[in-house]
Amino acid sequence: MFEKVSKYINKYKLVSVIVIGCVLRLAYIGRIPGEYNYFLDESFSAYEAYSMLNYGIDSHGYHNPIYLESWGSGMSAVQCYIQMLFIKILGFRPVAVRLPQALLACITLVFIYLLMKEIAEEKIAFWATFIFAISPWHLIMSRWGLDCNFFIGFVTIAMYLLITSRNVLWKTILAAIFMGITLYSYASPWIVMPFLVYGTILFLYLKKEITIKSILIYTIVLAVVSFPLFLFIAINMGFIEEIRTNIISIPKLGYFRSDDVKPSIENIKRMLSFFWTQYDYVTHDSVPKYGIYFKISNIFLVIGLIKEVIKRSKRAVIMWIWLACGFVMGCFIVANFERLNILFIPLFFFVASGINCTIGLCKKWKIAATIIMVLLYSINGIMFAKFYFIDYNASIFNILPNGVQEVLIFAQNYEGTIHIQDIRHPRVLCYTQYPVDKYVETVVYEDEHAKFLQPKSFEGYDFTEYIHDDAIKGDVYICSVENDEAVAWLAEHDMSCAQFGKFYLGVAN
């Protein structure tokens, strides 16, 4: 009887883990987190996707840009092109904006297992997938539409395809295409991706798993796919003019973030601190109580690292290369979990390796140790899931500008100019579905070369501080309920006021 149960569990354990992981990532995807409210970057991404779908241009007037200017310092475009399809099918609403990332996260669960199985034994692959499926970090990042979050899914798939290409022509070409798409999904890892890709290729070549011919084919295809990115860098370094056509655009950003890449000891300290404490002080990245993969995993991470150093597993070299690339990247940038997400895949591998090693050391008690380990992580997973869907969602709702959509839509009932304080322009554009062609024609920025653009105005809207001016009859004035000066100004001018969540709206009589 016990043997039958054991065989049944072993047969369906992976499917069960992936199904549970998918449910956690897809349940209430439009509403949670934030009760249908967008995060700021998410609202800009949503608006760019909506604009390109309906008007053929982004918020800076580019047709089919390979990289979005958005804030002025740029945003990856891949997520927008995927979101366009879902907005076309489901309409312009949170579920359409968030579903692409959630689905990619579900697919990533499958490829995490496949990738880990190529690197190590099946037990380690299962443990990595199990922890990944219930990981607080991955669950949080899977459920909202931020551009850099797409990188994890694409790099996992791309690395699996590279490792398993094995000189088969179509697999080699497909692997290169996916790696090219990965480069478009997030810019920060560009500084280390050549080392990850060609470090892995060198390992595969030395192990006689890939030939020079396949390496050349892979390199040529990857170069063709990523060539527009080389042009993008050349344009923004000032070597050539920007490319603006009706078919494809390669923009010159108002602010190019080349100065973000600066090695420092502080960056290293920050990175090590964040990853050991499993908290980066960014609410929509992690929560201090549960961390990245639960606090207990730090023990297994150390065990896994020591075990892999001693055992020197041949294919684990790929994970060491990956870990080294993430560490180098952390030396060059000011880290948080969004920016340094390249580090997570190898960390999950070493945690899984540590768990498998710990169980192996129990010898006669392996089954009991396995059951304890499953229960330990399952209980943590259940507790976090309950926390995420109830408490975390409530806390995010309180952090986000509740009432912003309602106040902006209500303001459109009036013909006067809408004067806004305490609301950033991406939310205005997104929630009002502002015509992007009109925005491009009429927007005036405070500083066109700022890292984060702030409009002074665009047709119908004014973002300058109004508390030192006289009220204009018929105009609408919006401010946060916590902005004491603006609230006092509304009262002083005896306006007709209404409250929408965290915002007051006043109409000058």
**Residue 2 clears pLDDT 60, i.e. is over it:** no
The band of 193, judged by pLDDT with boundaries at 50, 70 and 90, is very high
DSSP SS3 for 479 = strand
Number of alpha carbons in the 13 Å side-chain half-sphere of residue 309: 6
CA 300 to chain CA centroid, Å, is 26
Name the amino acid, one letter, at 472.
I
**Closest C-alpha to 111, from 63, 161, 66, 73:** 161
Residue 63 DSSP symbol: S
**What is the rounded distance in angstroms from the CA atom of residue 379 to the CA atom of residue 173?**
43
Q: Residue 75: what pLDDT?
A: 94
**Residue 4 clears pLDDT 60, i.e. is over it:** no
Q: Residue 6: what pLDDT?
A: 58
Asked whether 93 and 46 are in contact (CB, 8 A), the reply is no
Higher pLDDT, 46 or 260: 46
Q: Note the pTM of the prediction, 2 decimals.
A: 0.95
Q: Where are the domains of the chain?
A: 2-397, 404-507
Mean pLDDT of 296-321: 94
The string over 363-402, giving b where at least 16 C-beta atoms fall within 10 Å of a residue's C-beta and e elsewhere, is eeeeeebbeebeeebeebbeebbebbbeebbeebbeebbb
Computed over every residue of the chain, the mean pLDDT equals 94
Q: Residue 476: what pLDDT?
A: 97
Dihedral class, residue 51 (left if φ above 0, else alpha if ψ from -120 to 50, else beta)? alpha
Query: Which residue bears the tokens 């290293």?
Result: 268
Q: Residue 1: what pLDDT?
A: 47
**Residue 420 clears pLDDT 80, i.e. is over it:** yes
Q: Residue 248: what pLDDT?
A: 95
The band of 416, judged by pLDDT with boundaries at 50, 70 and 90, is very high
**Residue 197 clears pLDDT 60, i.e. is over it:** yes
**What is the rounded distance in angstroms from the CA atom of residue 446 to the CA atom of residue 349?**
47
**Residue 315 clears pLDDT 70, i.e. is over it:** yes
